Chain A
Amino acid sequence: MSIDTVLLYFFVVAALAGGVLMLVAQHPMRVALALIAVMLSLAGVYAMLGVHAVAVFQVLIYVGAVMVFMVYVIMLLDVRDPSFVVRYGRLLVPGVALGTLLAAALGLGMAQLRVTPAAAGVEAPSYLVRPFSQEFLQQYWLHFELTSVLLVAAVVAAIAVIKSGRRQDG
């Protein structure tokens, strides 16, 4: 067993552990830290798989931007209410039951699914950052540009939400 495989399974187990931690941790901050652990583990998985571009952006965007934002909000909000003490809502039992049911239903499909490696002779494209970026901006430039529209819409929406909230407060 090569060191690569060992590292890969390590990251898999770490991600799994982080996920379980997210379900059981009490304080939101701990949940956030667990989520960051999951994300970093997944970035490691991607790196192990050779998909470096995704790994880099997983760290930059998710951990660097989204989760920092989240942690910042958790620290900012100076509220204390039962949700910080009691972990679960009253839907715990039906929620878990349903989750299990869904897992069973999906797992049934998963069990039949055999993910085999790509056929021999087909040359896999390189997932390094440079070739990936070139390919991305040559072939998918239109989609890339369209996402900017989505971002603009999100910015406008965020501003609108804040403004309407201010007005409500008076």
Chain B
Amino acid sequence: MADLQVLLWLSFVLFGIGLVGVMVRRNALVMLMCMELMLNAVILALVVFSLRTATLSGTVLVFLIFVVAAAEIAIAIPIVLMLSRQKRSLDVEGYDSLKG
């Protein structure tokens, strides 16, 4: 199945898009969503490998990533809320207190 090769390329491209998005987009929420995109790309790669090796462990790992993603978003959203309440802004260029 040449499809698997194509899907792996898809995963790679989505991951790259997500990474560039994290680096260049100004909106904090958009940054978060780009990170979700990266996670999805990884899930896709795991599924491809699971199929390739004909084992279940890859898909099991996918489930664990679901849990991690849920936990991540459950913390990330409150943090963004706090930030926006404090700075009255979602512009990450306005956040500069993360320094010594």
Asked if the two chains touch in their complex, CB atoms less than 8 Å apart, one says yes
List residues of A whose CB falls within 8 A of some B CB. Answer: 5, 8-9, 12, 15-16, 19-20, 22-23, 28, 31-32, 35, 38-39, 42, 45-46, 49, 51, 53-54, 57-58, 61-62, 65-66, 69-70, 73-74, 77, 79, 81-84, 86-92, 95-96, 98-99, 102-103, 106-107, 110, 113-118, 122-125, 127, 132, 135-136, 139-140, 143-144, 147, 150-151, 153-155, 157-158, 161-162, 165, 168-169
Q: List 18 A-B contacts (CB under 8 A).
A: A20-B17, A22-B21, A22-B34, A31-B30, A31-B33, A32-B33, A35-B37, A38-B37, A73-B77, A77-B90, A82-B91, A87-B25, A88-B24, A139-B56, A157-B75, A161-B75, A161-B82, A165-B82
- 8 shortest interchain CB distances as A-B pairs: A154-B71, A95-B23, A99-B20, A83-B91, A118-B54, A165-B82, A83-B26, A83-B27
Q: Which residues of B contact A125 (CB under 8 A)?
A: 54-56
State A35–B100 Cα separation when bound (angstroms): 35
Across the interface, B66 reaches (CB within 8 A) one of A5, A57, A98, namely A57
Q: Is the CB of B33 within 8 A of A150?
A: no
Q: What is the 8 Å Cβ interface bit string for chain B, positions 33-69, against chain A (1 contact, 0 not)?
A: 1101100100110011011111110011011101111
Q: Which of B10, B34, B48 has the most CB of A within 10 A?
A: B10
A44 to chain B, nearest CB (A): 12
State A153–B67 Cα separation when bound (angstroms): 12
List residues of B whose CB falls within 8 A of some A CB. Answer: 1, 3-10, 12-14, 16-21, 23-30, 32-34, 36-37, 40, 43-44, 47-48, 50-56, 59-60, 62-64, 66-75, 77-82, 84-86, 88-94
Q: Is the CB of B75 within 8 A of A154?
A: yes
Query: What is the interface of chain A mostly: helix, strand, loop, or mixed?
Result: helix
Contact A54/B1 with A66-B70, A91-B24, A136-B60 known, Cβ cut-off 8 Å: no
Q: Is the CB of A147 within 8 A of B5?
A: no
Complex: chain A residue closest to B51, CB-CB: A49
B84 to chain A, nearest CB (A): 6
B42 to chain A, nearest CB (A): 11
Q: Which residues of A contact B81 (CB under 8 A)?
A: 73, 77, 165
Q: Is the CB of A96 within 8 A of B73?
A: no
Q: Which residues of A contact B70 (CB under 8 A)?
A: 61, 65-66, 151, 154
